[in-house]
């Protein structure tokens, strides 16, 4: 894989840092284990992996693709990375993303653009474009991402890979750089559903260091994927989410056509397909773009020039105070999209506006959860396209934040409701780019989507 990385990186640019020395050391250590020791490890033991640069790695620079963290070398490992190491999985490097995971194209990275391996004139999606591109380009067999509003799934759809956001609380967030804490979740980016399930079982399960971590082991995803691979879905009820089932202007016709073809395949395998309604899903985007910036503005307050990375002193002639140093640091260290969201978030949280904005958005969120609960009374798993479009060209949405935000229309609802969701490839459109099919399962029923996805794969 290090050889593939060397050959592919000049065009793909999926990695912000390749940690070859560490990876080779970890691989050597794994090789030295006895056959008995290896047999006792998970099935993916020894398989290398790439990690989104939003997840901290001890001794390996971690930047969240932001200038404000440039040069920061974490003194500790995130829980997921600890678990990868315990499974003998070498870390190939840190992958590119939109700065602090804010974006849908990876173009907001402070350092580089990542190309879509299917068409290098197009974006790989975002924010986890680096992880998805690395997996799609065979630079890494597996990768980790973080998903706050679709950042594992939408890049999965854009690169023809499998992207999963587990149930909120299913995977520890300890050591994941916080974007919006009530929405953030770490998950796998892989080329197959079974790989995803096996990786999820390694990183998932209770962790005392994350207070929102569910006190239980990971869900039985791998067994479900193996069962699904037999392509018998008799007894499973699949609900088509009416409001985002691919009709309407936002959806490219071929995305919808591939989605419908996959629904037909589920039916052919014995699933009962019905239409369900999640009526208030239309308010998801609005609620998300209040809740997310509010939490992000609060989380990003820690980048003050004191604790981590960059420090910029005020220019000559300006009083050299701590407050001025913080302003100068944040002005130089954060990119435009991050600043835009900090402004939105601090506004929504400010006295006098809190109830009108943040309070209302949280209420809307509860209504959306209620709608999903009702839909799950009728169906075991819900389906919709992952993203309304295939990968778009570089530059085509970068100056229009609203156009970029709208691409998240089908991924955001699962984050708001804490539900597990997964994107798998559904075909290739006539423009030569892959399309994505999304499953959404009830909380802590991740195995249901793994079973259905493995059947469809
Ligand atoms: N596109 C979403 C956003 O910009 C993705 C966020 C995420 O999942 N990290 O907020």
Ligand 1 pocket: which of 64, 127, 292, 389 to mutate (most atoms within 8 A of CB): 127
Q: How far is the CA of 299 from the centre of ligand 1 (A)?
A: 15
Tell me, what's the pLDDT at 249?
78
Question: Could you tell me the domains of the chain?
Answer: 2-283+363-456 (3.90.1300.10)
What is the Å distance from ligand 1's center to 165 Cα? 12
pLDDT value, residue 86: 97
Please identify, by atom number, the ligand 1 atom nearest to the C-alpha of residue 180. Answer: 9
- Ligand 1 centroid–CA 446 distance in Å is 21
Count of C-beta atoms within a 10 Å radius of residue 350: 11
pLDDT in the model for residue 250: 83
Low-confidence ranges of the chain (pLDDT < 70): none
The atom of ligand 1 lying closest to the CA of 101 is 9
SS (H, E, C) the chain: CHHHHHHHHHHHCCEEEECHHHHHHHHHHHHCCCHHHHHCCCCCCCCCEEEECCECECCECCCCCCHHHCCCCCCCCCHHHHHHHHCCCCEEEEECCCHHHCCCCCCCCCCCCCCECCECCECCCCCCHHHHHHHHCCCCCEEEEECCCCCCHHHHHHHCCEEEECCCCCECCCCECCCCCCCCCEEEEECCHHHHHHHHHHHECCCCCCCCCCCCCCCCHHHHHHHHCCCCCCCCEEEEEHHHCCCCCCCCHHHHHHHHHHHHHHHHCCCEEEEECCHHHHHHHHHHHHHHHHHHHHHHHHCCCCCCCCCCCCCCCCCCCHHHHHHHHHHHHCCHHHHHHHHHHHHHHCCCCCHHHHHHHHHHHHHHHHHHHHHHHHCCEEEEECCCCCCCECCCCCCCHHHHHHCCCCCHHHHHHCCCEEEEEEEECCCCCEEEEEEECCCCCHHHHHHHHHHHC
Nearest atom (ligand 1) to Cα of 148:
8
| pLDDT for 173 | 98
Q: What integer pLDDT is reported at residue 251 of this predicted model?
A: 92
pLDDT at 404: 86
Per-residue confidence (pLDDT) for residue 217, from 0 to 100: 98
How confident is the model at residue 247, as a pLDDT?
81
Identify which of 149, 288, 294 to mutate to test ligand 1's pocket (most ligand atoms within 8 A of the CB). Answer: 149
Whole-Å CA distances, 347 to 23, 39, 378, 380 = 44, 55, 40, 39
- pLDDT at 402 (0 to 100): 85
């Amino acid at each position: 894989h290090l050889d593939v990385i060397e050959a592919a990186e000049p065009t793909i640019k999926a990695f912000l840092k390749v940690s070859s020395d560490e990876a080779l050391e970890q691989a050597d250590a794994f090789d030295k284990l006895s056959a008995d020791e290896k047999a006792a490890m998970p099935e993916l033991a020894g398989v290398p992996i790439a990690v989104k640069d939003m997840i901290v790695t001890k001794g390996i620079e971690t930047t969240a693709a932001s200038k404000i963290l440039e040069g920061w070398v974490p003194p500790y490992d995130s829980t997921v990375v600890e678990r990868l190491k315990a499974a003998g999985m070498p870390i190939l490097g840190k992958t590119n993303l939109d700065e602090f995971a804010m974006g849908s194209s990876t173009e907001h990275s402070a350092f580089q653009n990542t190309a879509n391996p299917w068409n290098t004139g197009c974006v790989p999606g975002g924010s986890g474009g680096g992880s998805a591109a690395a997996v799609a380009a065979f630079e890494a067999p597996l990768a980790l991402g973080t998903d706050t509003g679709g950042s594992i799934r939408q890049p999965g759809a854009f690169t023809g890979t499998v992207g999963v956001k587990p149930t909120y609380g299913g995977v520890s967030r300890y050591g994941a750089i916080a974007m919006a804490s009530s929405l953030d979740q770490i998950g796998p980016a892989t080329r197959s559903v079974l790989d995803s399930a096996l990786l999820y079982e390694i990183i998932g399960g209770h962790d005392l260091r994350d207070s929102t971590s569910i006190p239980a082991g990971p869900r039985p995803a791998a067994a479900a994927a193996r069962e699904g691979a037999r392509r018998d879905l008799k007894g499973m009820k699949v609900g088509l989410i009416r409001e985002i089932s691919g009709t309407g202007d936002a959806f490219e016709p071929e995305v919808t056509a591939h989605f419908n073809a996959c629904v037909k395949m589920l039916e052919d395998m014995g699933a009962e397909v019905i239409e369900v309604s999640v009526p208030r899903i239309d308010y998801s985007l609005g609620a998300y773009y209040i809740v997310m910036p509010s939490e992000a503005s609060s989380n990003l307050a820690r980048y003050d020039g004191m604790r981590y990375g960059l420090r910029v002193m005020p220019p000559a002639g300006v009083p050299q105070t701590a407050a001025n140093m913080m302003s100068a640091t944040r002005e130089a260290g954060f990119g435009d999209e991050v600043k835009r969201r900090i402004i939105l978030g601090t506004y929504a949280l400010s006295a006098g506006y809190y109830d009108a904005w943040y309070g209302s958005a949280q209420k809307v969120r509860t209504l959306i959860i209620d709608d999903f609960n009702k839909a799950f009374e009728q169906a075991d798993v819900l389906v919709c396209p992952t993203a309304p479009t295939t990968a778009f060209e570089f530059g085509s949405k970068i100056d229009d934040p609203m156009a970029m935000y709208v691409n998240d229309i089908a991924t955001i609802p699962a984050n708001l409701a804490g539900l597990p969701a997964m994107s798998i490839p559904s075909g290739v459109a006539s423009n030569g780019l892959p399309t994505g099919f999304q499953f959404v399962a009830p909380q802590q029923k991740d195995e249901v989507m793994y079973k259905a996805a493995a059947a469809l794969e």
